[in-house]
Structure 1
Amino acid sequence: MLKLVLVGDQKVGKLSLNLRYSLNAEPGSNACDYPLDYYSRNITIGQKDIEIQTWHYNHEVSRYIQQAFIYRKAQGIIICYAIDDRQSFNNVQKWIDQIKQYSREDIELILIGTKCDQEDQRQVSYKEGKQLADQLGILFFETSSQKDINVKEAFNVIINNIINNKDLQKEILNSSHQSLSSKTSTQSQFCYSS
């Protein structure tokens, strides 16, 4: 199993990004937001079927509970800000600090500027996002869940980086015990904790 966590300020589009990748669902569809949501998607890498769990930080749940729980056993974290919300961009460092405090040292990170289809409301330039990612030494994408721009590409990059990390690779392959039909390369399901 490979665990990804999406973090960022409220209303930056973490749930929409998660839904678009995991279920190919458009924002505003009938998907519900339960505390500590995660979605599960199975992919085939080589001859191995891998379950990808994508969790998003839910602001309605106690911060302390989530910090202890959500980062546990995550191999990758997607840090999100909205290109139409300057404050969410300014708060990226706060999320980086939290990641350093609660996650593993060898975690893979990627920075995503969401809502890139909202060009007329842009408050953060592409160049600023890229510069911040370069300073942090991580990859950068701008995405749109609404228009399905760069969503699969961003997730594929972080998943490939995790798979190519020898230490993380062993952990993932050892925990992957689910087998699917050889005809099925991807499958999604909605999961939640109550």
Structure 2
Amino acid sequence: MSQQGRHLRCIFSFGTLQDKSGQLQANAYCENPDIVLIGNKADLPDQREVNERQARELADKYGIPYFETSAATGQNVEKAVETLLDLIMKRMEQCVEKTQVSNAVNGGSSGKLEGEKPAEKKCAC
């Protein structure tokens, strides 16, 4: 799975979110992945399994954005996706900046010997 694909594929129910935090980190691109908590079916309040207060408390606990969405009406779907993409882009920019600073400190050299293959690693963000 590509690194970009990992950003959008971790979906858990409210009840299993805490239990899945280890799995989320194991499949994430770094130790502190970008996460947005989304409550769906905002257009069907009588069918809610989790009230908005509970969801917001969980989002606050983890320090993540929370959106009430509706796939049927499109309510907040675009805003939730844009927020996640903004978080991802900020992290990517930080990675690029760290790499540029590191290269400048090392005199523009990667520190590898000629012919040496670069080590595979996850983003150090």
The bucket for the TM-score relative to the shorter chain is: 0.5 to 0.7
The secondary structure found in structure 2 opposite 1:94 is coil
* Structure 2 stretches lacking a partner, 5+ long: 98-125
1:80 CA displacement: 4.5
- The normalised TM-score by structure 2 is 0.63
| Greater relative contact order, per chain length (Cα 8 Å cut-off, separation 6+) | 1
Which of the pair is proportionally richer in helix? 2
* Structure 1 stretches lacking a partner, 5+ long: 1-68, 82-87, 171-194
For 2:40 and 2:10, locate their aligned partners in 1 and report how far apart those are by CA, in whole Å: 10
Q: Give the greater-gyration-radius structure (CA).
A: 2
2:23 to 98, 103, 106: 98
**2:3 aligned with 1:73, yes or no?**
yes
Which of the pair is proportionally richer in strand? 1
**2:20 aligned with 1:89, yes or no?**
no
Match in the other structure for 2:49: 123
| Contact 1:116-1:144 within 8 A present in 2 as well | yes
For 1:136 and 1:160, locate their aligned partners in 2 and report how far apart those are by CA, in whole Å: 18
The two structures, once aligned, show a CA RMSD in angstroms of 2.3
* Number of matched pairs: 94
1:93 CA displacement: 1.5
Identity value in percent: 29
Deviation string for 1:118-172 (max 9, x for gaps)? 11111211010010011111111111011110000000111112212223567xx
2:63 to 131, 134, 137: 137
- The normalised TM-score by structure 1 is 0.43
1:117 CA displacement: 1.2
